[in-house]
């Protein structure tokens, strides 16, 4: 099957125009027939420098959905720090993708949007203390399919509903009151001038999911934004109801998607 001049667009405004077809793919001797793939001839938006995209969502055209029976509906990835690591990121499929050290949280279903991986975020801790005012109710997925929290490898910066972000940011600012503040940068409103410093102390950050506490390394939430020693708190607020856990916060974890068990897990130091 070949469908020329097919158009696919993305939430950030990027799009691709090309041919949409099916092909038989082979993975280490395992053949998978009639896998839908596209060849883009006009790729616009945020596709600069990319050789292609591997769709890992929950939709019917995603790679995990199309190859689920061959790989037992399980896959995982580990994203390295793209700014400082010489190691490659990796993606695994099948039973071997499930790390034994992963802590799992249930996946939630949204019948209105079947593409996204929804999880239940119930709180955030800064410096070992739960941030007051950040409760599960701020991240509820309502019956109409609005709100909620998704895990997304294609979004860089974690976006939280505005009230949750403000409380989180304020708690982090209190814990870093001894550091020299710097100017805002792009969407980051909490930045620091760390020029001349070789080591700084910052408060710990833990994301509390249902049944899984994920303690972030400092490099996953305080990131360099230039070569002059400017670092920013790598979160942002959103005026919408949907919160997104982005790939900066996922760096270094093996993120395990056990779709057969309807759960997702996090294994620290998973890129080794």
- Start-to-end CA span in the chain (Å): 40
Q: Which residue has the tokens 């959103």?
A: 238
Q: Which residue has the tokens 């209190």?
A: 174
Sorted by where each starts, the structural domains of the chain and their CATH numbers stand as: 1-53 (no CATH), 73-268 (2.40.70.10)
Per-residue pLDDT of the chain (272 residues; tens, 9 = 90+): 556 667 877 766 788 888 989 999 888 778 888 899 888 888 888 776 777 888 899 988 899 999 888 899 999 999 998 776 678 899 999 999 999 999 999 999 998 888 999 999 999 999 999 999 999 999 999 999 999 999 999 899 999 999 999 999 999 999 999 999 999 999 999 999 999 998 999 999 999 999 999 999 999 999 999 999 999 999 999 999 999 999 999 999 999 999 999 999 999 999 97
In Å, what is the CA distance from 3 to each residue of 17, 36, 58, 72, 133?
Answer: 11, 11, 23, 29, 51
Characterize the bridge pairing of strands 15-27 and 181-182. Answer: unpaired
Q: Which residue has the tokens 């974690």?
A: 158
Dist CA 54 CA 251 (whole Å): 18
Decide: pTM greater than 0.85. yes
């Amino acid at each position: 099957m070949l469908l020329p001049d097919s158009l696919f667009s993305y939430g950030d405004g990027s799009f691709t125009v090309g041919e949409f077809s099916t092909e038989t793919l082979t993975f280490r001797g395992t053949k998978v027939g009639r896998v839908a793939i596209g060849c883009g001839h006009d790729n616009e938006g945020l596709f600069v420098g990319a050789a292609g995209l591997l769709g890992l969502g929950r939709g019917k055209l995603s790679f995990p959905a199309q190859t689920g029976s061959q790989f037992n509906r399980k896959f995982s990835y580990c994203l390295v720090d793209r700014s400082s690591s010489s190691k490659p990121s990796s993606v695994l499929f099948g039973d071997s993708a499930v790390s034994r050290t992963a802590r799992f949280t249930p996946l939630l279903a949204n019948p209105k949007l079947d593409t996204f991986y929804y999880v239940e975020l119930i709180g955030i801790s800064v410096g070992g203390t739960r941030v007051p005012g950040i409760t599960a109710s701020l991240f509820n997925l309502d019956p109409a399919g609005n709100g909620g929290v998704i895990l997304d490898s294609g979004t860089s910066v974690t976006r939280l509903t505005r009230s949750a972000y403000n409380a989180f940011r304020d708690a982090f600012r209190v814990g870093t009151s001894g550091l020299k503040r710097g100017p805002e940068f792009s969407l980051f409103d909490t930045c620091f001038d760390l020029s001349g410093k070789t080591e700084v102390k910052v408060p710990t950050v833990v994301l509390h999911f249902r049944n899984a506490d994920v303690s972030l390394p400092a490099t996953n939430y305080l990131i360099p934004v230039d070569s002059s020693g400017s670092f920013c708190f790598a979160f942002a607020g959103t005026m919408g109801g949907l919160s997104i856990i982005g790939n900066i916060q996922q760096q270094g974890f093996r993120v395990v998607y056990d779709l057969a068990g309807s759960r997702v897990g996090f294994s620290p130091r998973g890129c080794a």
